[in-house]
A and B are shown apart, each in its own frame.
Chain A
């Protein structure tokens, strides 16, 4: 065919670039890992590595929900205060409903808050930034009110088992993190719903004209994000054996950073769960490493911020070359 695809070589280039984004981030993660191993004798010790994964759990789980939302072209600023509020609600429910009941309350209320945000965004066309900014403020304020502005520390001790019972030699909170990543990755790549989420973020009009359920799958990511923020709250509470209404403050920034470092586009349609996992690990390693090296903790923000900006810059350079 004369009109068929003149620029074959260019499509190879596109392929390489698109493939390289995650590869590049994985490379960066390995460089950070190797650098820290050399710089600090403590970094490679097995209890530090476990510690590293342990520290990834809260940001990691929240970032999965954030990935869903960002893939549709939205953003969820409320995850931190959803974590705080749902933890407080769980703490209040423990007395009457027991451990399982308390966890169910947390997950359901997290999902319900996400449903609320998602409906406002999808049905009324409000900007997700504004809606979730509002929900963020409301959530934090309700967390204070419900908890009476103090920590809840009378938590059933058995819940601590949730975090540290080993499953196949891995602490159960880390196992939960890995299971969530595997399920989310499979969902986004191999199901109708997952591909619809990508299609909506990439070109909502085309998704609509092709008959995909744009409304449903625009709301779903916010529900997932709310529920996963609550799940992160459950594990955090079990870890520290105390529920603080302030818990999860600024968590949304870490989650967005992880997703962006992982190569997702804030315009939607591009990104992956694997990329997000790498993003989370890079951030946690840098935090952990700077601690081990005894660097003033105030430098952490600069390091993380620099990486975010570099990641977005790379994304822009790549996407302008790909999309022309």
Chain B
């Protein structure tokens, strides 16, 4: 779609710093009427902050905003709303006890004059009609009773009630089912056709391809790709922009892969609703294992389940080979597990306690006596202080909150080191930590592992995971989809693996069917630069084994089907040794965007009809999604 000449909104050189964290460092975006504009970036790239600056929720420190050619300076969401800019938030901002109708017209409460419910009712009906959703929302119902998708619809209607010209959707699909996502996309398409401008903030690449016209890509608070037509890009292009070209420096400090010790913590098919569906991995003595994935993939919840803070409903946890099922954190601590949660202020720090008592909090819970037993730890406390560059003894009585985030984090980690844990779980250990302290935390964790503990780290910062961890398990939408050496990975591949795919479940069913009918191996993969990224594989033993498993990233020649991978798709290609034949079929969603490849490897050279299978695969994909 050709971009109209005059952009509706131009944001340029936006900068914003929260406390010490630089959220935006020169971000720009241009949005025109009648387009859906994707705003992309990895976790923490600044997408949400930029959206909130535009919608008046956050004030920028520097930079310019132009709205219809005139300068705009929204001091509050109300300013932005009256200009015609509305935001549909990730966590909706509705009043749960008011009715749908009252919520839609909530901004009118800020206007003088009498409310006119009859007129409002009619306008609400018109708005829903224009979205093709007149049946989806009971206007009189309390918002509390609505589903996530319905609430979102209320938010959209609310934006239209003030006749917003620009609507920003911040991660709108995060809590929706695939069917609801489709409905949302229909609504967005109608809004675009009505000449409104939409900004779609997401890190789900499939959806970006499905619904956007142009995209702006952000990285580390900057715009690295502005207003690129979606049609001109591939998934790999976008990933490369999101991650950056300078992959070289990562490898320099890659941790040595040392011989793994015996398994310490084995997790199989762990299920802890609602976020954790099927998580499996093995953590060895002396290693640092990373749990990679996007925010909301269920990584934190996995750690909480392992530490007994969250009940798990299924799966098996084995600790030192014995079944382990913690019901309370005390169980986990007794078994030698320590846990550093994600939110220091909320989950770790006791603000009214001194540094000393915060440091000794884990000891307090492990201590069996009636008193405090602080003196029994004096020697170890002094040793830790020396080793970790923690404040000297005089400062032990100071308040925790006077220290930098990095120092606080070290104290919290030391809280567990004091107990000599055999397993240490850390959730985003360097969140809000300055760059200098980061490397000392890395060194600290490496030393903990070298001394024989097993360390499990959750991080959204893929660069950090690759630097710190010898192996990485990737979690996507509550399930581990790969567990591999970090040596074979880079940020781009990790991003590809971690991207949540709403099509995952449907595709898995299709693969199972194909494998069962042909007695071969069915797999789903992406191809990039002579490598295969296997996302899922079902079946295939003996000769029909294609030579890789789900989560593997082999070069073509490292597989058992190199000839097929190098040939043109659409037909069965036999390998030179005649042992197996493979069909590769590229699949697209019904909106025409790339979903990767479905492969089918069967034994021998006599094969089923390729065209039938290709058609069938494409039909299944289209109808499933």
Q: Measuring CB to CB, which residues of chain A are less than 8 angstroms from any residue of chain B?
A: 1-7, 10-11, 14-15, 190-193, 195-196, 198-199, 201-203, 205-213, 269-270, 322-324
Contact = CB atoms under 8 A, between A and B. Distances in A.
B211 to A, nearest CB: 38
Contact of A191 (B365, B366, B370): B370
A217 B389 CA distance: 34
Contact of B372 (A14, A190, A202): A190
A302 to B, nearest CB: 32
B516 interface: no
Contact of B402 (A2, A14, A201, A212): A14
Nearest to B419: A211
Interface string B400-439: 0111101100000001000000000000000000101100
Contact of B364 (A196, A202, A208, A324): A196
8 contacts: A3-B404, A3-B436, A192-B367, A192-B370, A202-B352, A203-B350, A209-B309, A210-B415
Nearest to B415: A210
Interface string B582-609: 0000000000000000000000000000
Interface in B315-372: 328-330, 332-333, 339, 341, 346-353, 357, 361-362, 364-367, 369-372
A192 B371 contact: yes
Contact of B399 (A11, A199, A206): A11
Given A211-B328, A323-B351, A206 B361 contact: yes
Contacts of B373: 192
Nearest to B369: A192
B506 interface: no
Contacts of B415: 210
A5 B395 contact: yes
| Interface-centre pick from A2, A196, A209 (highest chain B CB count, 10 A) | A209
| Interface-centre pick from B333, B351, B352, B398 (highest chain A CB count, 10 A) | B352
B19 to A, nearest CB: 11
Contacts of B195: none
A210 B309 CA distance: 10
Interface string B242-259: 000000000000000000
| Interface-centre pick from A196, A206, A269 (highest chain B CB count, 10 A) | A206
Give the top 8 A-B pairs by smallest Cβ distance, nearest first.
A211-B365, A211-B329, A202-B352, A269-B352, A211-B333, A11-B398, A210-B361, A211-B330
A195 B407 contact: no
B391 interface: yes
B364 A192 contact: yes
A14 B371 contact: no
B350 A5 contact: no
A198 B358 CA distance: 12
Given A11-B402, A205-B347, A191 B407 contact: no
Contact of B406 (A3, A195, A202): A3
Nearest to B348: A206
Given A6-B404, A209-B307, A211-B330, 13 more contacts: A3-B406, A5-B402, A5-B404, A10-B402, A191-B370, A198-B352, A207-B361, A208-B329, A211-B328, A211-B332, A211-B333, A213-B365, A323-B351
A2 B436 contact: yes
Contacts of B406: 3
Contact of A213 (B330, B352, B436): B330
Given A210-B364, A211-B365, A195 B402 contact: no
Main secondary structure of the interface of A (DSSP, over half): helix
Interface of B: 307, 309, 328-330, 332-333, 339, 341, 346-353, 357, 361-362, 364-367, 369-373, 389, 391, 395, 397-399, 401-404, 406-407, 415, 434, 436-437
A87 B412 CA distance: 48
Given A2-B436, A14-B399, A211-B362, A206 B370 contact: no
Given A14-B398, A14-B402, A206-B350, A212 B391 contact: no
A5 B391 contact: yes
Given A3-B436, A5-B391, A210-B364, A202 B350 contact: yes
B407 A4 contact: yes
B367 to A, nearest CB: 6
Nearest to A270: B352
Contact of B348 (A3, A193, A209): A209
A201 B349 CA distance: 12
A212 B389 contact: no
A5 B398 contact: yes
Nearest to A267: B352
Contacts of A4: 389, 391, 403-404, 407
A323 B401 contact: yes
Contacts of B350: 198-199, 202-203, 206-207, 269
Contact of B346 (A201, A205, A323, A324): A205
A212 B361 contact: yes
A215 to B, nearest CB: 9
Contacts of A206: 346-350, 361
A15 B406 CA distance: 22
A193 B372 CA distance: 9
Nearest to B368: A192
Nearest to B331: A211
A11 B402 CA distance: 7
Contacts of B370: 191-193
Contact of A3 (B330, B347, B364, B407): B407
Nearest to A198: B352
Contacts of A212: 361, 364-365
A14 B401 CA distance: 11
B68 to A, nearest CB: 41
A269 to B, nearest CB: 4
Contacts of A3: 404, 406-407, 434, 436-437
A293 to B, nearest CB: 39
Nearest to B405: A3
Contacts of B328: 211
A205 B309 CA distance: 10
Nearest to A1: B389
Contacts of B330: 211, 213
A322 B399 contact: yes
Contacts of B341: 209
Nearest to A210: B361
A1 to B, nearest CB: 5
B395 A195 contact: no
A6 B352 CA distance: 20
A208 B402 CA distance: 23
B372 A210 contact: no
Contacts of B397: 15
A202 to B, nearest CB: 4
Contacts of A192: 364, 367, 369-373
Contact of B401 (A201, A211, A324): A324
Contacts of A324: 401
A266 to B, nearest CB: 13
Nearest to B360: A195
Contacts of B352: 198, 201-202, 269-270
A3 B399 CA distance: 16
| Interface-centre pick from A2, A10, A190, A195 (highest chain B CB count, 10 A) | A195
A86 to B, nearest CB: 28
A67 B353 CA distance: 18
B309 A208 contact: yes
B57 to A, nearest CB: 22
A192 B371 CA distance: 5
Contacts of A5: 391, 395, 398, 402-404, 407
Nearest to A18: B399
Contacts of B364: 192, 195-196, 199, 210, 212
Contacts of B333: 211
Nearest to A12: B398
A7 B397 CA distance: 14
A207 B346 CA distance: 10
Contact of A199 (B307, B353, B389, B407): B353
A205 B349 CA distance: 9
Given A3-B404, A3-B437, A191-B370, A203 B351 contact: yes
